[in-house]
C-alpha cells in the first residue's frame, strides 16, 4: 500500500514535471515564432522601403531626363534662332556701312571729340 502510494506520488510528480517541460517548450516555440514573425515583418518593411527608394530614384531620373531633353530642345531652338540671325545679319551689315558713310564728315570739327581739338575751339 505504501509503495503504491509512493509510486502514485512519483507518477504525479513526473506528470507535473512533464507538463512544465511541455509548457516551457510551448513558451520557447511561441517566442521563436514571435521572433520569426518580427524578422519577417522587418524584411517586408525593408523591401517596401527599398521599393519606395528605387521608385523615387526612377522618378528623379525620369525628371532629370525630361529636363535634359527640354534643355536640348532649347539649345537646338537657340542654335536655329542664331542661324536665322546669321542669315538675316548680312542684310543688316549692308545697311550699316551706309549709315557710316552718312555720319562721316571730312571736317574734324564736326566730330563728337572736336572739343578736344585745339584747332576747333570757338
With respect to residue 22, please indicate whether it lies within any of the assigned structural domains.
yes
For 9, 31, 43, 44, 86, the CA distances from 21, given in Å and listed in that order, are 18, 15, 32, 34, 96
With respect to residue 122, please indicate whether it lies within any of the assigned structural domains.
no
With respect to residue 116, please indicate whether it lies within any of the assigned structural domains.
no
pLDDT at 40 over 90: yes
For 43, 66, 122, the CA distances from 73, given in Å and listed in that order, are 44, 10, 61
With respect to residue 63, please indicate whether it lies within any of the assigned structural domains.
yes
For the chain, what is the domain count?
1
What's the rounded Cα separation, in Å, for the pair 47 and 40? 10
With respect to residue 50, please indicate whether it lies within any of the assigned structural domains.
yes
With respect to residue 19, please indicate whether it lies within any of the assigned structural domains.
yes
Query: Mapping DSSP to helix (H, G, I), strand (E, B) and coil, where does residue 105 land?
Result: coil
Q: What is the reported pLDDT for 61?
A: 97
With respect to residue 30, please indicate whether it lies within any of the assigned structural domains.
yes
Domain that holds residue 12: 2-93
pTM of the entire predicted model: 0.46
With respect to residue 38, please indicate whether it lies within any of the assigned structural domains.
yes
Cell 525593408 found at = 46
pLDDT in tens, 17-33: 999 999 999 999 999 99
Amino acid at each position: 500500500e505504501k509503495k503504491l502510494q509512493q509510486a502514485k506520488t512519483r507518477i504525479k510528480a513526473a506528470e507535473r514535471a512533464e507538463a512544465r517541460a511541455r509548457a516551457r517548450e510551448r513558451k520557447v516555440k511561441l517566442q521563436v515564432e514571435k521572433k520569426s514573425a518580427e524578422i519577417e515583418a522587418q524584411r517586408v518593411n525593408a523591401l517596401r522601403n527599398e521599393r519606395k527608394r528605387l521608385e523615387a530614384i526612377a522618378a528623379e531620373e525620369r525628371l532629370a531626363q525630361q529636363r535634359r531633353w527640354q534643355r536640348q530642345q532649347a539649345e537646338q531652338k537657340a542654335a536655329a534662332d542664331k542661324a536665322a540671325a546669321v542669315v538675316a545679319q548680312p542684310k543688316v551689315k549692308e545697311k550699316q556701312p551706309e549709315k557710316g558713310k552718312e555720319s562721316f564728315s571730312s571736317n574734324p570739327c564736326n566730330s563728337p571729340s572736336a572739343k578736344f581739338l585745339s584747332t576747333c575751339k570757338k
